[in-house]
Amino acid sequence: MREEDLQQEPTMAAAAEEQMQQLRSKATELLLREEWEESIQLYSHLINLCQDQISKTHHQDSNNRDPDHLSKLHKSLCLSFSNRAEARSKLQDFTQALEDCDRALQIEATHFKTLLCKGKILLSLNRYSNALDCFKAALSDPQGNGNLEIVNGYLEKCKKLELQSRTGSFDLSDWVLNGFRGKPPELAEFIGPVLVKRSEISGRGLFATKNIDAGTLVLVTKAIAIERGILGGQDSGENAQLVMWKNFIDKVKEVVTKCQRTQLLVSMLSTGENEEELEVPEMGLFRPEIEKNGNGFLEKLDMDKILSILDVNSLVEEAVSAKVLGKNSDFYGVGLWLLASFINHSCNPNSRRLHVGDYVIVHASRDIKAGEEITFMYFDTLSLLDKRVEMSKSWGFNCRCKRCKFEDGVCSKQELREIEIGLEKGADVGGAVYRLEEGIRRWAVRGKEKGYLRASFWAAYSAVYSSDRLMKRWGRRIPAMEAVVDSVVEVVGSDERVLKMVVEGLKKNGGMVEFERVMKLGRGFYGKVVKKQAMRNLLEIGIQDQSY
């Protein structure tokens, strides 16, 4: 280096130091004011300057190097990455935020602020054991001592969620007993014994890899985007729905841009066309703990494709919990849950879903055998074939489930149609049920197929069983309620209306319907997330005042 350069260097370094100092205080101010975008810009500038200065210092003659100066620069760089990570995480840009955390931790492996920030990001990405490692490491930093309470709080939360996601042991008893009111409990993501495979129904579907008994959890997964609101009257309701739909699309677009893993999975969802040609995703893709940032090739998701995907896969929060949460019948919530998007519809479903906060919980609503496809209902399955055909069309497909195939091919279609028309015209429901049961015998309909027809005419059966007058007249000529309930539950799984009728039967007749039967139905309906004692209370409440 020339003599004059050497003389100029301290002044240039001082100027750079001053510029960095100004940037640091301005960026910190923006961070405190929660102006994330702006603070990110300044931190990026600061990071460049720091790196520049560090490289200049490295090029200096080792005798002239000031080790203190270098270590200050490294500290400043570490803090800048850490703060930029914080700002990026606030904007939900988790991929870049994690990159910043890692760069900060390369400089200082136990940097407390960074470990806390990284732990929180991993926690919100449902990567519980990785988050746990971060919080444990944070405790080993001297700064951790002053923040023991905060770090321990996160550690406990992580441990609980990690256990839930590993074992599927969730307990929503208190929340359900409280009428789904209050803040929904915190949940982990969980994947039970299931696998995505080709389905005979259409495209891909989710299958059980083990026997799963009624009430057992199949999966718990968080929406990648969700939009909720209250729809007003007719016109304003339609408008509100349009605005919500637009916001929902924007949210999906944003997550897809920010997270490659999400983008990859969204691009694999069905657009409703050529489903047989769609790729079957490997299950690892649904496990956030397995770091997977795409395979280098990412299909570009254009707007048309996103719209078709959302049309086919988004679910409306229509579960009882969502209605109570919204405290309003006009409450409407729409979301996209990735793994749940691989579940096909069946009018003979074996699972049901419950919405808890941003999570959807899917549990078996009846016993499922290993190898069986897991299905839930997209629309009401306790209804007649014609109505179901109409609803399936409005979903954009023709239902190809076994029940629809059977009912479509049943030899006695004309007679069934006559019973239906009679009911539409206000014929005696008891007479209709009697005629149907008599037909079932004559047409030699057996086993599960009996349940198919009974589930289709459920409205008539339930009207008879709930009326003392009709039961007096028809009770001895039609099957006992328990037999019909069993065959209907075998077909549609546990259902709120069936459960309600059975609970009312228990209330009226005491011993006629055993409590165990009600408990089994309750388990199929609410799932094992409601524990035995709470379920007893829940159903006893129902027995006392019918408001379960």
Ligand X SMILES: C[S@@+](CC[C@H](N)C(=O)[O-])C[C@H]1O[C@@H](n2cnc3c(N)ncnc32)[C@H](O)[C@@H]1O
Categorise residue 277: left if φ over 0, alpha if ψ from -120 to 50, beta otherwise. alpha
Q: Decide if 144 contacts 156 (C-beta within 8 A).
A: no
H helix runs in 33-147, sequence order: 36-59, 67-90, 94-107, 112-124, 128-139, 142-146
Instruction: State the CB neighbour count (10 A cutoff) for residue 335.
Output: 23
**Count of residues of this chain found to bind ligand X when the rule CB under 6 A is applied:** 22
Question: Three-class SS of residue 354?
Answer: strand
Q: Which is nearer to ligand X, 276 or 424 (CB)?
A: 276
* By the rule CB under 6 A, 216 interacts with ligand X: no
Q: Decide if 396 contacts 379 (C-beta within 8 A).
A: no
Token couple for 392: 């399936």
- Alpha carbons 345 and 417: distance in angstroms, whole number: 25
* By the rule CB under 6 A, 541 interacts with ligand X: no
- Alpha carbons 139 and 151: distance in angstroms, whole number: 7
Q: Which is nearer to ligand X, 378 or 548 (CB)?
A: 378
Q: 230, 240, 278, 427: which one contacts ligand X (CB under 6 A)?
A: 278
Q: 76, 263, 346, 365: which one contacts ligand X (CB under 6 A)?
A: 346
Q: Which is nearer to ligand X, 373 or 490 (CB)?
A: 373
Closest residue by beta carbon to ligand X = 203
Span near ligand X by CB under 6 A; candidates 107-115, 197-205, 225-233, 472-480: 197-205
Token couple for 315: 């679910």
Per-residue binding string, ligand X, 236-275, x by CB under 6 A, is: ---------------------------------xx-x--x
* By the rule CB under 6 A, 223 interacts with ligand X: no
Span near ligand X by CB under 6 A; candidates 230-238, 244-252, 398-406, 526-534: 398-406
HEC profile of 174-216: HHHHCCCCCCCCCCCCEECCEEEEECCCCCEEEEECCCECCCC
Distances (CA, A) of 360 to 189, 223, 315, 325: 9, 8, 10, 14
The DSSP string of 251-305 is HHHHHHHH-HHHHHHHHTS--SSSGGGSPPPPGGGG-TTS-----S------HHH
Q: Which is nearer to ligand X, 218 or 499 (CB)?
A: 218
* By the rule CB under 6 A, 443 interacts with ligand X: no
* By the rule CB under 6 A, 400 interacts with ligand X: yes
Q: Which is nearer to ligand X, 268 or 356 (CB)?
A: 268
Q: 16, 191, 312, 440: which one contacts ligand X (CB under 6 A)?
A: 312
* By the rule CB under 6 A, 330 interacts with ligand X: no
Per-residue binding string, ligand X, 106-145, x by CB under 6 A, is: ----------------------------------------
Q: Which is nearer to ligand X, 85 or 374 (CB)?
A: 374
Token couple for 209: 């890899």
* By the rule CB under 6 A, 353 interacts with ligand X: no
HEC profile of 369-394: CCCCEEEECCCCCCCCHHHHHHHHHH
* By the rule CB under 6 A, 397 interacts with ligand X: yes
* By the rule CB under 6 A, 396 interacts with ligand X: yes
We find the least distance from the C-beta atom of residue 378 to ligand X, in angstroms, to be 7
| Cα 169 from chain centre | 17
Instruction: State the CB neighbour count (10 A cutoff) for residue 517.
Output: 16
We find the least distance from the C-beta atom of residue 261 to ligand X, in angstroms, to be 18
Distances (CA, A) of 181 to 289, 322, 324, 356, 477: 31, 10, 7, 11, 44
* By the rule CB under 6 A, 341 interacts with ligand X: yes
* By the rule CB under 6 A, 345 interacts with ligand X: yes
Span near ligand X by CB under 6 A; candidates 39-47, 87-95, 253-261, 336-344: 336-344
We find the least distance from the C-beta atom of residue 198 to ligand X, in angstroms, to be 9
Per-residue binding string, ligand X, 456-485, x by CB under 6 A, is: ------------------------------
We find the least distance from the C-beta atom of residue 255 to ligand X, in angstroms, to be 18
Residue type present at position 331: F
We find the least distance from the C-beta atom of residue 374 to ligand X, in angstroms, to be 11
We find the least distance from the C-beta atom of residue 404 to ligand X, in angstroms, to be 7
DSSP state of 1: -
Q: 53, 126, 344, 351: which one contacts ligand X (CB under 6 A)?
A: 344
Q: Of all helices (H) and strands (E), which one includes residue 398? A: none
* By the rule CB under 6 A, 399 interacts with ligand X: yes
Binding site for ligand X (CB under 6 A): 201-205, 269-270, 272, 275, 278, 312-313, 341-342, 344-346, 396-397, 399-401
